[in-house]
Every structure is written in structure tokens, then in C-alpha cells.
Amino acid sequence: MKGFILYPTYEIIGGKPSVMLFGKLENGQSFLTINSYRPYFYIKESDKKSLPKEYDYEKSTLKNFEKKSLVKIYTSIPSEIPTLRKYLEEKGVDCYEADIKFPQRFLIDNNIKVTVDINDDYEPNELIDRVYREPTLKPAEAYSPKLKIFSIDIETSADGKKLYSLSIYSKDFERKLIVYNKKILGAENFETEEGLLEKFKDIILNEDPDILTGWNVIDFDLDFLEKKFKENRIQFNLGRDGKACKIKLDEYF
């Protein structure tokens, strides 16, 4: 079964890192793969004497541009890599490929780009159609999946403190939610922000869009909604993993 990767991430499970790939299968079902994997980077073999004793290493067939042999340095979790890298570089040790993000490292090592072939057993989940644990993943021929894309837009007061309305649009779906004490043609009215937010959450969880998009949606709309969810004591869990969503801007955003 071919799958289209929508979002690669990772989680520490039982003290060990696991790469998690969320995506859409060619049959239209959502999927999640969970694969344990060890984070690593490289240093010159001649520099391994500078490595703290608690870290493992192994020889590799790779060399740098000066034809110097490299060794692979393993850490327990991905977040240790920046700390170890800084420690080594302060000792004059060159670190190679220490800036590659952990999920991307997994994809690169398995020669996977945007599509993957999965043929293992799976288990159903309340929020995800198929969950594969430690599957064998292979690169697959690229294809264009049919994705459900929701564009959202909010309107707020000029001071950015009150939520007035929220609209959702897709090819086959359209909803307008507004905070107002009277009926408005073509919209659903709510007397409170809390009522509107609960309805929005219910729509997202039930319609299960693959992608949320919109104009300035990350650092305004979703950021504002996260604060409003917190203010109204509503869990901000809109994703397929059932956990609280976090608004995260990439350092190069």
C-alpha cells in the first residue's frame, strides 16, 4: 500500500526516540507509522578521543572532503545532539551532518522522499485509520493523493482580544461560525466564544482534514485560537494524535 507523507515528526517512547510519519494512503485512509531509530552524526575518526565516554560510536565507510575517515556518533535522544555538538566544536572537533533534523535523517537513510510503501500489519485507532508499529518502509513511486484541505479564516476585534467569527472553506465543505445573539442567514450563530470554539473543534475532529491552511494562518489565526482555547479552558487537541497542538515556527520561517 502506497502512502503520501504529510508530516514527519518524532516522539520519545519508553525513553527511546521513534520516528512518526503521518500521512494518507492511496485508498484514502489516514495512517501513522512508528519506527524506533537512533540519532547520530559524524566526526573524524582521529577526533574520537575527544568524545565523552558515555557516547557510543562505530566506524563508517564515509570520509570528509579531505579523505579523512569518519565515525558515527550515537546519542540516546535527538535533543542531545546540539549539546554534544557544541561541546565537541568548543574542543576544535568538526561535526558532520549534526544539523539534520531527526525525522529527516530517518527519511534520508531509508531513501524515502514524499511517498512510501507499507505492507505490514496495522491496528485501527479512534483518530487514525491505520497505525503501523515498526513497519518495513520502502520508497515508493510518487503520486498525487486526494487530500482534504480546509482553509480557515477568523475575524477579531481591532484590539485582538475578541473573536467575532470563523470561516472554513473546502472544495466540498463550507461553514461560517459567528459570535452573535441573533440568527444570520448562511451562518451558525453562537452566544459565546466558547460555543463557537467547541463547534470548530467538533468540525475539525469529525471532518478530519489532511491540511489546515489559510492566509497568515500559523502565526495569527492558529496562534490566536490557541490562546482562546486556553482562555475558555478547552483542550486544543485538533490533530490525529489526540494530543494538545503546539504552534511551532521553524527557525527559518
Residue showing cell 519506527: 35
Q: Which residue has the cell 503501523?
A: 132
The pLDDT assigned to 219 comes to: 85
Predicted local distance difference test score (pLDDT) of residue 218: 87
User: Is 144 within 8 Å of 27 (Cβ atoms)?
Assistant: no
Q: What is the pLDDT of residue 252?
A: 65
CB atoms within 10 A of CB 10: 22
Res 185: pLDDT: 92
**Superfamily (CATH) of domain 40-100:** B family DNA polymerase, N domain, alpha/beta motif (3.30.70.2250)
* Domain boundaries for CATH 3.30.70.2250 within the chain: 40-100
**Amino acid letter, residue 230:** K
Range(s) of the chain covered by CATH 3.30.420.10: 149-231
Q: Which residues of the chain have pLDDT under 70?
A: 251-253
**Residues in the chain, overall count:** 253
The strand pairing partners of 154, in sequence order, are 166
The pLDDT of residue 249: 74
Residue 253 pLDDT: 57
pTM over 0.75: yes
CATH architecture of 149-231: 2-Layer Sandwich (3.30)
pLDDT for 67 equals: 96
Tell me whether residue 6 is exposed, middle or buried, using C-beta atoms within 10 angstroms of its C-beta: 0 to 12, 13 to 18, 19 or more: middle
Q: For 173-216, how does the pLDDT look when each residue is reduced to its tens digit (9 = 90+)? A: 999 999 999 999 999 999 999 999 999 999 999 999 999 999 99
